[in-house]
A and B are shown apart, each in its own frame.
Chain A
């Protein structure tokens, strides 16, 4: 019986992994398609002004072994990418993959930290609403969450920078500013907190968690636990907290990554979002393609983790 359950779980998980691979393939195709449809291929960008005449250009393409048909181009690009070769940045000439991974780590800290901040605010509000029902505190908190998620995050960033520089003289933003430099490490935390508060997912996260917790609290098995005098928390934790939180984290990662583009810009945070912004300005295709692929892989990974947690916590779902 137990081994049968394990087998079912393994099968479900391998299905998820296969689906993730299939989705990443689709992502790569979308990225390729956008580039393929764009006016002027990277070649003409590179060769601009250096070589006149279509015949000469075609000669160069042939000499460099660029395949003609779109599917051949796609396959060779995909093959290179699978070997970790994402091409070289047009602007800096450095290999894209290494660069993206280097700055990607900074973005990873930023987004994971921001997620923690968001959950730190959202979970207590949602819990309070779910357990205590609609009280007098509840409504202002909900409105507060709505306001936070509608607040333009760049303006919030400027306000925070102003407060910290001007009022506390804390951060090394102005060169040569003398201040309480021992607090400089705090500077790392500020963008994280700003993104955690200002990403536009806050109100949705609260509403989702609240609805899920309410649903679970109304289940029969919780009533039974309550009647027996058993711990309601222990019974409600898995389905009422763990599963909804992993679900909402997985579905909000793309939003928070998008918010990171802006917050990194405001705070000069050397991450993927800033790199994407720079690349979009320079029309540096290889870089922005690499970033799109890495970001999508990150999103799919989060989603994969979520489905693993869900399957392990709730094997019953397999039987449906």
Chain B
């Protein structure tokens, strides 16, 4: 006589065990850490938007240049102009948060539309998506962004449109693949035999029931990427300009004081970048392993 969990294990994804019991501990740790970071970013962003900060991020104090963490009430110390690093880190989230959301919305909506067109219609549409995918992947993204900066202007929203559009074909091919998989299982055929209208099949049965998790995962990974690109561009001097803080320009400005042995003003934002990007990556990968199954990458 087999126990319940053995049977459930054999049936695999069709077992009615809740997903967190089937998941590996490592993946749960990843997701927990990622959720913690995401919450922290969201709360900090709200605090920054409401101006609930420990100090004014622009307030210069000559007495406290490059102060170490914890000194004189500055929890994370001060930078080269004596400005509070914690407040600047919190305000720095504004540099990527809304632009990142814009990039995510663009790539998800464009990618979904293209993916459904390719997967549902198949044939030439699918070949076209593959072509666009290859085309977009031919450009190093930073080079394409520099091209757009040269042609238009260094505006973060222009840049995030580029990021969103270039992210779309990848999502499209994932969704097209998913629909192809559903087709093999006669899933869509059954739905249309039942007389369901096409838009119900696409919106409810394909997108809502089967692509939801995929889109959430891609959104998470997209936020990590938006942070990476925003910080890189701010570092290169094309993003947010001093005195407005961004994590990238904080690293860059602080690095001038390395030779004086003042590591902290540059390292604090670098650690913020590291932990945040790590959080969104682990959240995406953990969710992918738990909800989509390993090897379904």
Q: Which residues in A have some Cβ–Cβ distance to B below 8 Å?
A: 19, 22-24, 26-27, 30-31, 34-35, 37-39, 139, 146-147, 149-152, 154-155, 158-159, 161-162, 165-166, 200, 203, 207-208, 211, 215, 251, 254-255, 257-259, 261-262, 265, 273, 276-277, 279-281, 283-285, 288-289, 291-292, 295-296, 299-300, 303
Contacts and interface: CB of A to CB of B under 8 A. Distances in A.
Contacts of A151: 270, 274
B20 interface: no
B143 interface: yes
Interface string B232-249: 100111100000000010
Given A139-B26, A162-B258, A37 B140 contact: no
Interface stretch (B62-70, B85-93, B209-217, B275-283): B275-283
A258 B143 contact: yes
B231 interface: yes
B81 interface: no
B4 interface: no
B19 interface: no
Given A152-B274, A154-B251, A254-B137, A211 B295 contact: yes
Nearest to B142: A258
A86 B149 CA distance: 20
Interface in B213-267: 224, 228, 231-232, 235-238, 248, 251-252, 255, 258-259, 266-267
B88 to A, nearest CB: 16
A276 to B, nearest CB: 5
Given A22-B131, A158-B266, A273-B143, 11 more contacts: A23-B131, A31-B147, A34-B147, A152-B270, A155-B266, A166-B259, A255-B140, A262-B235, A273-B142, A288-B143, A300-B138
Given A166-B259, A292-B139, A37 B236 contact: no
B273 interface: yes
Interface string B139-163: 1111110111111101000000000
B297 interface: yes
A34 B151 contact: yes
B135 interface: yes
Given A27-B138, A147-B278, A257 B143 contact: yes
Given A261-B142, A288-B146, A292-B143, A277 B266 contact: no
Contacts of B258: 158-159, 161-162
A292 B144 contact: yes
A203 B284 CA distance: 13
A237 B230 CA distance: 40
A150 B26 CA distance: 18
B173 to A, nearest CB: 13
Given A26-B135, A30-B135, A147-B278, A254 B140 contact: yes
Contacts of B237: 281
12 contacts: A34-B147, A38-B152, A39-B152, A146-B282, A147-B274, A152-B251, A159-B258, A261-B142, A280-B149, A288-B143, A289-B147, A292-B144
A288 B150 contact: yes
A199 B110 CA distance: 28
Contact of B150 (A23, A152, A285): A285
